Structure 1
Amino acid sequence: MVQGTELWSLDQNNRSIEVCVVDTGYNAGHEDLPTVLAKQVGGTNTGAGVWFNDGHGHGTHCSGIIGAVGNNDIGVVGIREKPTLNVFHAGKGLADDGSGYSSNIMSAVQGCVDDGAEVISLSLGGYKNSSIERAFYDDIYNQGILVVAAAGNSGNSGPLFPGSYPSVISVSAVDQNGIRPDFSQCNNQVEIVAPGVDIMSTFPPNTYATLSGTSMAGPHVAGIAAQLMSFFPECTNYQIRTAMVRSADSNIGEYPGYCNNGYGSGLVQGKAAYDLYHQKDVLVLVVRM
């Protein structure tokens, strides 16, 4: 649906990108994920716990959507299927019960920034609009880092933060038919959509699970963004963002062909964004910023 597989064979020399997942942790011993021993994953501990312990499963599931290992004849395959091209940094922003404080989340995100992450995936959020938090994400964006976050699962038009901050890409969910499920947030900060219904991915301790939510949609977009950054190292984060938004499939939703609150600009399309990059007029700032 997101044309992720169409990017795999385009350029065998694309560079490695560090992608950070701030969540409940990372199952470092999973058979289908990049490994610590191969130095393909590291992390940041916070007051929520140690990064390589995921007692919940949510973080491991989101990580698999981005980078579950391909060509190993087991399990599933992530958007970034080659572990040699996908360095993970896992931030323990949430506790094992799935709850968390903004301070721990921001500490984990800062760990990602300090370690050199270029894309940060946040499948989490809260309802408080904080000027301090907004400035924090604005600063990260101004450093050239792309932050992708879930739009929320309340199924209403209310905001969810950090996804609803202008410097963060807010991602809503669609099902296999391109229809927004009832749980997916529908507000004017939704920028783009991705698959988020019945998504199978990695799960601790060494298994797989099928989950639904905008939490599953966000990592699809983060993975596509990382792919595009690997192809075009000269591009800025806002140029990658613009390419994804302008190339999205808008022929979905209640009003096909139009940007609307439940679907943003449409369904993220990796190959279409890759092709759009070669057009000079893509190098503009996203209107929402």
Structure 2
Amino acid sequence: MRKVVTASLAAAVVGFGALTVTVPSNAATEPQQISGQIIVKFRDSGAAPGLLRQNGLSDGAGIGSTGAHLIKVPAGKESQLIASLSRNPAVEYAEPDQLVTAAVDEPDPDYFPRQYALHNEGQSFTNTNDTVTVAGGKADADVDAVEAWAVTTGKDIKVAVLDTGVATDNDDIAANVDLHANFSTAATGEDNYGHGTHVAGIIAATRDTEGVSGVCPDCSILDGKVLNDAGSGSTSSIVNGINWAVENGAKVINMSLGQRVSSRALESAVNNAWNKGVVIVAAAGNAGTQAPIYPGAYPNVIAVAATDNNDAKASFSTYGKWVDVAAPGVNVYSTFPKHPFEIGRQNGREMGYDIASGTSMASPVVAGVAALVWSNTPAGTENKAVRTIVQSTADTITGTGTSWVHGRVNACKAVAGVCDQP
């Protein structure tokens, strides 16, 4: 299955967790890369030391299972050395280690009734902090998660969240985290930014009488922190996170982040994960254009656009025929850290629980649906079959065939449940 995409524009990398209803484009206009390091893969590993020495360099650490290495270079010489190395036949590719950020656009009690994305009967609730409606709209704008739970709640399925970490002090999601790893430049693996905790809660917050519930409430989370406490990271950190997730048994990987220029190292990591049987899900972006975002635009990734509570495309959502499915991504309630975090400081979000908007929020909905499908299929089922089920059971809504290919996902139909809506 090959997705047709247009040419990428700049080398900037962006994350997709917007925190207001009105979301301007967060697409960067200038290329951005990590200073002082590049990614290099050699065709001839024996020639590598000599070739690096000729350029005043030394070998660096391997990146995941890609065969590429992270090479330290003098700051400001990145492009020059990439060009020089790329001309050598012993080099398969040399490329920037691009900047990745969980970009955020400016603007308790039981919150489950406010989760229109999971189950909505047309009711309406208001967030007093923002004086905006966070539920209501069309009764069938949800993904019918509650009906799906009559079939499965995803027990024992591991979903990797590659993001800013998952807070250890919010039991609503921390209880379902099996493993933590820190691939970022942050001193610890704690989520001090907030984005990763919100994403993880959408997938697997525990189903109980307080807080919120995830789409796959009995799934286990593998918390791979690839973005630091300022919400930024690098292509190489994402690649290492993907490799770690595969090695630790993830059946689904969610990446609510992306970059505007393709990376051969990143695509290789994605393909390795796919070939090992993992379903990979990623946000399509918040630029409101058709420009492709990576890893979402890679053929072996399910790219996800965002819809609102009226089952319409979110105004900010990236779209196009390279985007596979849609899912609710506007004013989505989920978990946040219970300690101070950067998104809360910037945008006035509450500790514990609050809303967020973006394809960052839509992507984990799809990841949760994929996990439910995994738990409802026989042993030996391949990831290709799981992906086909998720996509083929999506509801055909306005925008299907133009803004995305397959429709807005439906968890109940995906697990062959008894669904209220046709």
What TM-score comes out, normalization by structure 2 length? 0.60
Report deviation, 1:49. Answer: 3.0
User: Residue 149 of structure 2 aligns to which amino acid in structure 1?
Assistant: W
On the 8 A contact 1:15/1:231 being kept in 2, the answer is no
Q: What is the aligned counterpart of 2:180 among 29, 32, 43?
A: 43
Give 1:141-180 correspondences, 5 Å limit.
Answer: 141-180=274-313
What residue number does 1:269 align with? 410
* 2:212 is the counterpart of 1:76: yes
What residue number does 1:55 align with? 192
Q: What is the aligned counterpart of 1:127 among 235, 256, 260?
A: 260
On the 8 A contact 1:174/1:197 being kept in 2, the answer is yes
Report deviation, 1:29. Answer: 1.8
User: Residue 374 of structure 2 aligns to which amino acid in structure 1?
Assistant: M
On the 8 A contact 1:26/1:51 being kept in 2, the answer is no
| Number of aligned residues | 263
What residue number does 1:249 align with? 395
On the 8 A contact 1:54/1:204 being kept in 2, the answer is yes
Report deviation, 1:126. Answer: 0.7
Counterpart Cα distance in 2 of 1:115 and 1:191: 27
* 2:367 is the counterpart of 1:226: no
1:71-129 Cα distance to aligned partner (Å, 9 max, x none): 2x2111111123xxx22100111111111101111111211111111100000001111
Counterpart Cα distance in 1 of 2:362 and 2:152: 25
What residue number does 1:30 align with? 170
Q: What is the aligned counterpart of 2:384 among 235, 238, 253?
A: 238
User: Residue 147 of structure 2 aligns to which amino acid in structure 1?
Assistant: E
User: Residue 281 of structure 2 aligns to which amino acid in structure 1?
Assistant: V
On the 8 A contact 1:48/1:104 being kept in 2, the answer is no
On the 8 A contact 1:43/1:89 being kept in 2, the answer is yes
Inter-CA distance 139–184: structure 2 relative to 1 (3 Å threshold) = same
Identify the range of structure 1 (201-210 vs 62-71) with the bigger mean alpha-carbon deviation: 201-210
What RMSD in Å do the two structures reach over aligned CA positions? 1.7
3-state SS of 1:89 partner: strand
Identify unmatched segments of 5+ residues in structure 1. 277-289
Identify the range of structure 1 (51-60 vs 114-123) with the bigger mean alpha-carbon deviation: 51-60
What residue number does 1:181 align with? 314
Counterpart Cα distance in 1 of 2:299 and 2:200: 24
What residue number does 2:273 align with? 140
Counterpart Cα distance in 2 of 1:142 and 1:185: 27
Identify unmatched segments of 5+ residues in structure 2. 1-141, 339-350, 418-422
3-state SS of 2:259 partner: coil
On the 8 A contact 2:197/2:336 being kept in 1, the answer is yes
User: Residue 80 of structure 1 aligns to which amino acid in structure 2?
Assistant: C
What residue number does 1:281 align with? none
Counterpart Cα distance in 2 of 1:91 and 1:51: 12
Q: What is the aligned counterpart of 1:217 among 350, 362, 365?
A: 362
* Misfit runs of 4+, over 6 Å: none
Counterpart Cα distance in 2 of 1:15 and 1:27: 21
3-state SS of 2:236 partner: helix
1:167-205 Cα distance to aligned partner (Å, 9 max, x none): 111000000111112210012210000000000100012
On the 8 A contact 1:24/1:57 being kept in 2, the answer is yes
3-state SS of 1:6 partner: helix
1:131-187 Cα distance to aligned partner (Å, 9 max, x none): 222122112101100110000011101010000101111000000111112210012
3-state SS of 2:258 partner: coil
3-state SS of 1:170 partner: strand
Identify the range of structure 1 (55-64 vs 126-135) with the bigger mean alpha-carbon deviation: 126-135
Report deviation, 1:249. Answer: 0.6
Report deviation, 1:4. Answer: 1.4
What TM-score comes out, normalization by structure 1 length? 0.86
Report deviation, 1:15. Answer: 4.5
| Bigger radius of gyration | 2
3-state SS of 1:239 partner: helix
On the 8 A contact 1:23/1:93 being kept in 2, the answer is yes
Give 1:92-103 correspondences, 5 Å limit.
Answer: 92-103=225-236
What residue number does 1:259 align with? 401
